[in-house]
Chains A and B, each alone.
Chain A
């Protein structure tokens, strides 16, 4: 595999991993907020 293509693959993988990490972080925050909201509504 040419070095150029290898670099593109690694760059895309890095960007996707970063994006996935951000989304997972947001998902955790959202789940926490939903849990608190449900507790508030059901009280």
Chain B
């Protein structure tokens, strides 16, 4: 990895706002939401303070993973328009500060989870941080077009952690929730990578559109949508969730499939003509929010 050249600013102490930005707060919101839903969907009572702490630990763990990701990828971020203004590539913070902050936050989140919840939740949290940093960021991202496929597992852990924090075990439903996010990640990120592929190409990241081409990526998006839909509907089909989840998952999945098909039939190669891709990317976030919200509604209100 080539390091970012030292700038005069790197000798200044980091602003706390930049430390916050290092945790990728926007990405964290989806992680916190799915973790909270995993916690709320789990059977059995949870003390509000312990539940809050478990979700806080998931957020801190995600923040730590985000910080370590930015620490390692400072050189890549500097080459991409989308990420060039982050604290490290912009030279507002030293890499050592980012490393210390990320490691400290990660260790703290795991210890606190162990104290507040149980060993299993803390262990899965530790695995998720290590998976994101070591498997996805360090190993896969720069080496293979399958980076998103395998690396997607890192973002799929939060509902599993939330569930484990309440029950102390992992059963079929949390595994299905894991599978939903795992299978959702490729279509979600490939839709994005289609209209920012020049950025990835310039940075030398082997995202699928860069390596295999635009049409092949569109085909893969449609193909991955099918098992994702199967996983999304499975909790209801297996009797693990009620009719609210069933109806919501079917409706949202039909819309997702329609948008994925629109992407498949689109022949545009210029980002400005990639309306279907942008629509699918936007809807995919809503899709995940909708599924997990329906699961909680099913468990608590029906």
Contacts and interface: CB of A to CB of B under 8 A. Distances in A.
Given A34-B115, A34-B116, A13 B13 contact: yes
Contact of B15 (A5, A15, A33, A40): A15
Interface stretch (B47-55, B127-135, B220-228, B249-257): B47-55
A8 B12 contact: yes
B203 interface: no
A26 B115 CA distance: 16
Nearest to B46: A41
A12 B49 contact: no
Contact of A12 (B15, B56, B115): B15
A3 B184 CA distance: 53
B13 A34 contact: no
A9 B116 CA distance: 37
B12 A9 contact: yes
B88 to A, nearest CB: 16
A30 interface: yes
Contacts of B13: 9, 12-13, 16
Contacts of A36: 49
Interface size, B (range): 10 to 19
Contacts of A15: 15-16
Contacts of B15: 12, 15-16
A40 to B, nearest CB: 7
A24 interface: no
B14 interface: yes
A16 B53 contact: no
Contact of A41 (B14, B50, B53, B56): B50
A12 B14 contact: yes
Interface string B110-123: 00000110000000
A32 to B, nearest CB: 10
A5 B10 CA distance: 12
A8 B11 CA distance: 12
A5 B13 CA distance: 11
Interface in A7-36: 8-9, 12-13, 15-16, 19, 30, 33-34, 36
A34 B16 CA distance: 27
A12 B50 contact: no
B136 to A, nearest CB: 28
A5 B8 CA distance: 11
A35 B48 CA distance: 13
Contact of A34 (B12, B14, B49): B49
Contacts of B16: 15-16, 19
Contacts of B49: 33-34, 36-37
A16 to B, nearest CB: 5
Counting from the closest, the 3 A-B pairs by CB-CB distance are A37-B49, A37-B47, A19-B16
Interface of B: 12-16, 47-50, 53, 56, 115-116
Given A15-B16, A34-B116, 10 more contacts: A12-B14, A16-B16, A30-B56, A33-B49, A34-B50, A34-B53, A34-B115, A37-B49, A38-B50, A41-B50
21 contacts: A8-B12, A9-B12, A9-B13, A12-B13, A12-B14, A13-B13, A15-B16, A16-B13, A16-B14, A16-B15, A19-B16, A30-B53, A30-B56, A33-B49, A34-B116, A37-B47, A37-B48, A37-B49, A37-B50, A38-B50, A41-B50
